[in-house]
Structure 1
Amino acid sequence: MIADDFVFINANGLYCKYGDFYLDPSLPVKNAVISHAHADHAISGNTEVYCTAPTRAFMELRYSRYAAKIFNIVPYHTSFNVNGVQLTFISAGHMLGSAMVLMEYNGAKYLYTGDYKLQPDATCEPIELGAADVLITESTFADPKVIHPDPVAEIQKLNSIQSNILLGAYATGKSQRLIRMITDHAPQKKILVHHRILPINKIYEAAGIALGNYQLYGRKLMKAQDNFVYIVPPFTFNSYIRATDVKRLFASGWDNLQVNREDSLFISDHVDWNDILTAVKQVNPKQIWTLHGNGKHLQTYFGDNIFVKLLN
């Protein structure tokens, strides 16, 4: 039987009162189940954290000894119990170590997606979707107007750009995906990475992920005008607003983060409208609960066929 109040949002984030734990809390809590290591989902200071091994590695890199007091590392498909609720991590396909959280309580299954994507990605585990009574889904791009283009075709745009490229990307997850894709689909480009991206790459490589060909940025290299793509995190990208003799691009699914009228690079690590509909078909839920975006389009689309509740 579905409990309408199985999870709800309070001052600390998304809370499961039946198991007394939070899913990706926004403030430090006693028990935190972390879906993946992006900073808006994995904060420091929690007492006890349940996550995958890569998520712990990223959190400890970012937060050092403040990452958490206790880490409980749980592999995919290994069930564990938190105060009477059975949980299982399954791959979300969002970045290395990202997990959906399947929660089972009183005969009902609740699948919390965290951030997820259906697009292929050689730098993380492929997404897995299974049946659940309630799909608790992010709705970042849950709009019929948002259909993400083919990421390979987007990367291949770089082949026609003759100048050096300053490529903005989030340091964790997106940068590693870009390195792999550029290596595979724009092989004549020479990839440079910002020094803050390098230790994240090392975590990927330690996990057995082959990223491809890259080297640490050097100023003299960029001056050579030799087909370089320099991947930098957002704060560095923004500081290079007056950079000359380079093409500035930002890899994102958001239209407002595209920085050139003549060139765009729409590469998203989130599901778009069609992907969410595909996920719903595979999960086959009785109810959909939405987070991190506007779920009203899903309410309209499903009408009386599936109950859609907006948690935020």
Structure 2
Amino acid sequence: MILDDFVSFDEKGLYCKYGDFYIDPQLPATTAVISHAHADHAISGNNNVYCTRATASIMQLRYDRTAAKVFNIAAFNEPFKIGKVTVTLIPAGHMIGSAQILMEYEGTRYLYTGDYKLQPDATCEPIEWVTTDVLITESTFANPEIIHPDPVAEIRKINDIKSNILLGAYALGKSQRLINLITEHAPQKKILVHHKIMPINAIYEKMGFHPGKYQIYGRKLMKVQDEFVYIVPPFTFDSYIRATGVKRLFASGWKNLQVNNQDTLFISDHVDWNDILQTIANTRPKQVWTLHGKGDHLKAYFKDDIFVKILN
């Protein structure tokens, strides 16, 4: 039997009262299951954290001693118990170590996707499929008007840009994927990386995911017109708004983060409308619960075929 209150939101975030734990809490909690290491899902200060080894390593890099009191490292596809709930982490394909959280209680399965993507990405574990009774999906781009373009076609656009490129990207996940895509599909480009991205790259490499060819940024290098691509985090990118002699691009799935009309890089690490429909087909849920976006379009699309509940 599906329990309508299996998870619910309170002041700390998404809570499972049947296991007495939070999922990606927004405020420090006694027990937390963390889907991945992006800061909007993985805060510091929790007591007991359950997550993958890659997620723990990145949280420890970013938060040091306040990352968590105790990390309980869980391997993919190996069930463990929290209270009376059996939890299994399933690869989500979003970034290194990212996990869907499968929760089983009294014979019913609830699958929380976290952030996830279906597009191929050589810098993280590919998404895996399991069936579920309830799919709890992020719905950031759950709109039939939003279809993400092919990331390979997007990255190949920079082959036509002969000047140096200042490429803005989130330091964790996106930057490593861009290094890989550029190495594979624009091999003549010389990739420079901001110093804040380098420790994250080191974790990726330690975990067996080598992004590609790159070197740390040097000011003298960028003064030479030699098809350099300098990857920088958003704050640094914004501080270079008056930079001359370079083409400014920001790699994102969001239109408002594209910085010029002539050249855009729509590369998203989230699912689009078609991906969500594919996920529902693959996981075969009886109900779909949405969060982190709008579920209105899914509710209208499925009508009476699948019950859709909007959690927030």
**Superposition TM-score tier, normalisation by shorter sequence:** over 0.9
Deviation of 1:66 (Å): 0.3
1:280 is aligned to: 280
CA offsets per residue over residues 168-200 of structure 1, 9 Å max, x none? 000000000000110000000000000000000
1:105 aligns with 2:101: no
Deviation of 1:228 (Å): 0.3
Q: CA RMSD in A?
A: 0.4
CA offsets per residue over residues 73-129 of structure 1, 9 Å max, x none? 000011000011000001000000000000000110000000000000000000011
1:41 is aligned to: 41
Q: TM-score, normalised by structure 2?
A: 1.00
2:201 is aligned to: 201
Letter in 2 for 1:136: I
Distance in 2 of aligned mates of 1:55 and 1:210:
17
Identity %: 71
Gaps of 5+ in 2: none
Distance in 2 of aligned mates of 1:150 and 1:180:
15
CA offsets per residue over residues 222-269 of structure 1, 9 Å max, x none? 000110000000000011110111100000000110001111000000
Describe the SS at the equivalent of 1:162.
coil
1:290 is aligned to: 290
Distance in 2 of aligned mates of 1:106 and 1:256:
45
Distance in 2 of aligned mates of 1:232 and 1:165:
11
1:144 is aligned to: 144
Q: How many residues align?
A: 312
Describe the SS at the equivalent of 2:166.
strand
Distance in 1 of aligned mates of 2:38 and 2:205:
18
1:58 is aligned to: 58
Letter in 2 for 1:115: D
2:176 is aligned to: 176
Distance in 2 of aligned mates of 1:138 and 1:160:
35
Distance in 2 of aligned mates of 1:212 and 1:19:
41
Distance in 2 of aligned mates of 1:308 and 1:245:
51
Q: TM-score, normalised by structure 1?
A: 1.00
1:249 aligns with 2:249: yes
Distance in 2 of aligned mates of 1:130 and 1:208:
25
1:29 is aligned to: 29
1:260 aligns with 2:260: yes
Deviation of 1:130 (Å): 1.0
1:94 aligns with 2:101: no
Deviation of 1:162 (Å): 0.7
Distance in 1 of aligned mates of 2:215 and 2:267:
22
Describe the SS at the equivalent of 1:165.
strand
Deviation of 1:201 (Å): 0.1
Letter in 1 for 2:188: Q
Letter in 1 for 2:207: A
Letter in 1 for 2:153: A
Describe the SS at the equivalent of 1:54.
helix
Distance in 1 of aligned mates of 2:276 and 2:130:
14
Gaps of 5+ in 1: none
Describe the SS at the equivalent of 1:251.
strand
2:223 is aligned to: 223
Distance in 2 of aligned mates of 1:288 and 1:241:
42
1:6 is aligned to: 6
Letter in 1 for 2:304: D
